[in-house]
Amino acid sequence: MQFKEFAEYFQRIESVSSRLKMIEILADMFKKIDSSEISMAVYMTQGVLAAPYEGIEFGLATKMAEDALSIATGKDKNEIESLYKKSGDLGLSAEMLMAESKLRRMRSSSYTIGMVYDSMIKISKASGKGSKEVKVRTLAEVLAASTPIECKYIIRYPLGQLRLGAGDSTILEALSVAHTGERRMKEELEHAYNICSDLGFIAEELYKFGEKGIKSIKVTLFRPIKPALAERLPTPEQIIDRLGGRCAVEQKYDGFRCQVHKSGNTVRIYSRNLEETTDMFPDIVKATKDSIEAENVIFEGEALAYNEKTSEFLPFQETIQRKRKHDVKAMSEQMPLHLMAFDIIYLNGKSYMDLPYNRRREELGRIISQNSERITLSNMVITKSAKELNKFFEESIESGLEGIVAKDLNSSYIAGARKFSWIKLKRSYRGLLSDTLDLVILGYYLGKGSRAEFKFGGLLCGVYNKKSDMFETISRIGTGFSEDNMKKLSSLLSKIRAKSKPARVSSLINPDFWVDPVYVVTVRADEITRSPMHTCCRNNSGDAEVGYALRFPRIIGTDLIREDKRAEDCTSSEEIDELFKQQKKVTTKF
């Protein structure tokens, strides 16, 4: 497909306010793209060069894009910067400047999707001495051969500013419609995506081999699986009742969740949001090579900082110091990590996802060397007694841990889903709603009075409805911000402003500025209340005119933004509905 036609589809997608219309446009676009370009088209629609775990970044700064635009249009850099400051969107600036440019196009033929993508790969691979010049020259060449509308998206793409608002679920649904004419394949595509985490690969397999290709996608080494997630309940009694009696109860650790892939002497580690973190954990890599007695394996664990002298796990505030790119080796020696392994997904050519939890636990224990000092099985008891579960919970809390996770002994590993086969109980659950929630920022308000100078006065936040692939509002947050917080949020959010309400946002409230659903923040609130203003669970609350809201919400955490979570990884509307029901059942007596 010519990139001009592709860009015109992007323009149409950007202009719609309906998710269903977005799916219709995407499906029409995907129908016209052949198998040789479909993976590239999907990556571009996501705004990436490859699946997240590949770790391929553009490495193109805004100043470089301005330099390339200057070369392609013949415009002065100062003029470009001035226009960019006015528009706040270098893509729009590029479109306007190219329309005004009197320079003749450098190519008589147009670029295709594949040609633009290959140029972006070339930009990403340029490194070392002279790499800046290569990046600028390559981008300038593409811009100079393109129309104004193409230039808008060619600039936005490597800067991470496409602003299409098409989430993974929306793209999967559009692929289903493009291939079958209906949405019936969405669930099958989602299952495949949960075990390979690569939308471009999914699309390519679908186009080359049809439904048979999707069904053939299996768990594969060095292609991370979306992690299984736990639901929550407030009391041991409810947990035992929900799991039907006898269950496994593991200690819950507050550290780095690690999905470890090992093949021979090659080890790679992936984070909760599937980014490769191998270089961060040289001690865990070495321990895996030394202590895991399996040729090929994928297993999961939680890595925590460990004081070898006192045999104590350190709090997360100290563990987080290991999250760095510099002086990693020195830090690993100063603050070694201990990996508490809790599940196995794949072993020597066979997926273990469908095996019951108790079998998986047995196999995991079998492959960990008895002499291992860095990797051990998570502490666990098996019980059918709420009293015994609570005793184990109390002991875990006294040890400085978060709490426990109870697991159905017969449950399979459910990738990418939050089910009641795993149920967590944390110390914070002793209050009405003391546990934290992860909310996505949907919009923000201008500051007034003492906050006017920061151009920031508060946030409109929401949760994710997986069934509808929509973000629903649940709270306006206007308190608890430090001056540094306000400056940081003002700077971050001004860069992702949307012209109008994004198509995947459901809201009755209009903030001063809408933003693309990108950033996740951790919030604590006193309770969940009924609200006619918010759309969270509006159709589930028992009243079509009433949703749920948070009472006295405040942002917590020193880092402010949860960089380890995508927007779709925030708290779900289904969780909120369950938490609201639990509030009436919570007792302070365990």
| 451-467 average pLDDT score | 83
At 555 the pLDDT is 87
Q: Which domains are seen in the chain, by residue range?
A: 229-430 (3.30.470.30), 437-583 (2.40.50.140)
- pLDDT for 308 equals 62
297 burial (CB, 10 Å; 0-12 / 13-18 / 19+) is buried
Question: Which SS3 state, helix, strand or coil, does residue 341 take?
Answer: strand
Q: pLDDT exceeding 90 applies to what percent of the chain?
A: 67
> Taking the CB of residue 587, how many other CB atoms lie within 10 A of it?
10
pLDDT band at 542 (very low <50, low <70, confident <90, very high): low
| Bridging pattern class, strands 337-347 and 375-377 | parallel
Quick one: average pLDDT of 417-423? Answer: 91
The pair of structure tokens assigned to 290 is 């030394």
Burial of 124 (0-12, 13-18, 19+ CB in 10 A): middle
Q: Tell me the per-residue pLDDT of 182-230, one tens digit each, with 9 for 90 and over.
A: 998 999 999 999 999 999 999 999 999 999 999 999 999 999 999 999 9
Q: What is the mean pLDDT of the chain?
A: 89
pLDDT of residue 358 exceeding 70, the answer is yes
**Alpha-carbon separation of residue 8 from 1, 27, 90, 162 (angstroms):** 12, 14, 18, 13
For residue range 461-519, what is the model confidence (pLDDT) as tens digits? 999 999 899 999 999 998 777 788 888 888 889 889 988 999 999 999 999 999 999 99
pLDDT confidence tier of residue 336, bands split at 50, 70 and 90: confident
Q: What is the DSSP letter of 415?
A: T
pLDDT tens digits along 241-289: 999 999 999 999 988 999 999 999 999 999 998 999 999 999 999 999 9
Considering only 106-120, 178-192, 287-301, 370-384, which range has the smallest mean pLDDT?
Answer: 106-120
pLDDT at 588: 38
> Is residue 429 over pLDDT 90?
no
Q: How far apart are CA 276 and CA 515, in angstroms?
A: 28
- Verify whether residue 252 is a known catalytic residue: yes
Q: Exposed, middle or buried by CB within 10 Å (0-12, 13-18, 19+), for 401?
A: buried
Which residue is catalytic, options 75, 152, 186, 252?
A: 252
User: Which residue pairs from 446-454 have beta carbons closer than 8 angstroms and sit at least 24 positions apart in sequence?
Assistant: 446/512, 446/513, 447/486, 451/486, 454/483, 454/486, 454/487, 454/490
For residue 587, what pLDDT is reported?
Answer: 42
pLDDT-derived band at 335 (thresholds 50, 70, 90) equals: confident
- Highest mean predicted confidence (pLDDT) among 108-112, 192-196, 396-400, 583-587: 192-196
List, in order, residues 6 or more apart from 104 with CB less than 8 Å away.
none
